[in-house]
Structure 1
Amino acid sequence: MTYKTIIVHLDRTGACRARTDLAREWARTHGSHLVGLISTGLIDGVIPAEEILSGATDYIAESAQYLRRRAEAISYEFRERVSAGGPMSYEVRLIDATTVDAVVQHGRMSDLVVLGQRDDDEVKDITTRDLPQRVVMEVGRPVLLVPYAGHFEGVAKNVVVAWDGSRESAVALGAAVPALRHASKVTLLSVRAVHDNDADERLRVPDILQYLLRHGIQATAESEVTGIDVGDALLSRISDLGADLLVMGGYGHSRFRELMLGGATRHILAQMTVPVLMTH
């Protein structure tokens, strides 16, 4: 597998610039075609009232024009930031579908989807507040989630892979292979509870290390027994190792479009300090 098509979700938040820069560098490294995806907001229907002139005779038309101008401004900035890094293959797509539907539908025609972490201080639009978890659960592709705080340049060089032997962690590991090939250090990290007595058989660490080696990836393994929250333990060890990417499975399921995520997944989505490559 390679990341031949990368889609990055664009919006008007301040963190979009860092997200664009990271997506651009991943695309350049992997020889990918980069797609900047913008939902205009016409279907979401959330219009900042202060942006429409009072006394407008046709509020609907004025609102549509405002949303189109906003999308085109985001598009212009994306083009400027991408072209500043030198020639590469890219395009912009302005979509009138809801944000979640646009990212999911177009994301399924890509190899990697790049999203920003939810920032409650900036995201006032309730239609996008659950965007990361919805996309992870529905898109069927790996999702690179970028924290809203900090700037992350280039592809990851020091990667931690959260490994518990589950289906979700196996899918995430497989999806991360192209990224792991570019890393200088890969750590397979298993965090388990004190009374987990079946870990060795389930984890099969020697086998998974050989699997990675056949892909040209030299990895080391660590196992940690913890009495604290698994998400906290992962974040703590990531900090200790100085990692710049976490690979993990997204746990949970969707029922009637209501997401129920596992505790570790929710914790990482809320508290991530480095980009997270997540799949479900």
Structure 2
Amino acid sequence: MNFKTILVHLDHSLRSPARAAMAARWARAHESHLVGLLPSGLYDGIIPAGAIATGMTDYIAESSDYLRRRAEAVAREFRTDIARSGPLSYEVRMVDDVAADAVVRYGRASDLVVLGQSDASNRGDTTTRGLAEDVLMEVGRPVLVVPSAGVFEGRPRTIVAAWDGSRESAVALRSALPALRQAARVTLISLRHPHDEDNTQRLLLSDMIQFLLRHGVQARAESEVTEIDIADALLSRLSDLGADLLVMGGYGHSRLRERVLGGVTRQILEQMTVPVLIAH
């Protein structure tokens, strides 16, 4: 498996250029085609206060025109940044669909979907709130979530993979192989609480190390017992190891349009300090 097509969600938020830049770096590193997906916001129904002058006779037409011009400005910035950073196979797709639906539909024609962490600072814009969670449960592709703060240059060199022997963590590990092959250091981390059942047999750590080795990935494994929350312990180990990417499974299920994620997944997505490659 390779990341031959990478899709990045573009919007008018302050973090969109940083997200796009990371997607472009990954696309160059993996010789991928990059798709910048840009929902206009027309069907999300979000028009910033004061964007349309009062007294307009055709508010719907004026709103549509405003959103189109805003999307075109984002697209121009994306193209300019790509041209400035060097040659790359890419395209921009401007669509009027609901953001989550558009990312899911176009994401299924991609190998990796790049999204931003929900940013509480964009309180006036609800189109991307919970977008990563919604997309993760439906797209059927790995999702790379970029934190709402911080600078992340270059390709990830130190990668931590959360491993608990589950289907979701196996899917995530398999999905991350292209990135793992390019890393200098890969660590599989398994965590449990003192009163949890000893899952050594389920983890098959030595087998997983051999699996990765056959795919060209040299990795080491850690199995630890912790008294604190699993998510907090994982975030602490990321800091200790100087990791610049976390790979993990996304736990939960979807029913109708309600999203229910496991506590560890949700906490990591809320408190992440490095990009997270997550799969379900």
Q: What TM-score, normalized to structure 2?
A: 0.98
Partner-residue secondary structure (3-state), 2:43: coil
Distance 1:150 1:131 in 2: 20
Alignment of 1:101-180 (within 5 A): 101-180=101-180
CA deviations on 1:90-121 (whole Å, 9 max, x unpaired) are: 00000111000000000000000000000111
Distance 2:197 2:44 in 1: 49
Distance 1:242 1:36 in 2: 30
CA deviations on 1:121-144 (whole Å, 9 max, x unpaired) are: 114233431111001111000000
Partner-residue secondary structure (3-state), 1:161: strand
Partner-residue secondary structure (3-state), 1:260: strand
Distance 1:197 1:108 in 2: 37
> Which residue does 1:8 correspond to in 2?
8
Partner-residue secondary structure (3-state), 1:206: helix
Q: 5+ residue gaps in structure 2?
A: none
Letter in 2 for 1:135: V
Letter in 1 for 2:266: R
Is 1:236 aligned to residue 236 of structure 2?
Answer: yes
Distance 1:99 1:247 in 2: 25
Q: CA deviation at 1:195?
A: 2.1
Is 1:193 aligned to residue 193 of structure 2?
Answer: yes
Distance 1:127 1:245 in 2: 26
Distance 1:209 1:48 in 2: 51
Query: Identity, % of aligned pairs?
Result: 64
Distance 1:260 1:142 in 2: 18
> Which residue does 2:213 correspond to in 1?
213
Q: What TM-score, normalized to structure 1?
A: 0.98
Letter in 1 for 2:254: S
Q: CA deviation at 1:166?
A: 0.3
Distance 1:110 1:121 in 2: 29
Q: CA deviation at 1:29?
A: 0.5
Distance 1:131 1:263 in 2: 17
Distance 2:216 2:196 in 1: 31
Distance 2:36 2:256 in 1: 29
Distance 1:127 1:274 in 2: 23
Q: CA deviation at 1:197?
A: 3.1
Distance 1:83 1:6 in 2: 17
Q: 5+ residue gaps in structure 1?
A: none
Distance 2:274 2:125 in 1: 25
Letter in 1 for 2:121: D
Distance 1:11 1:151 in 2: 19
Letter in 1 for 2:24: R
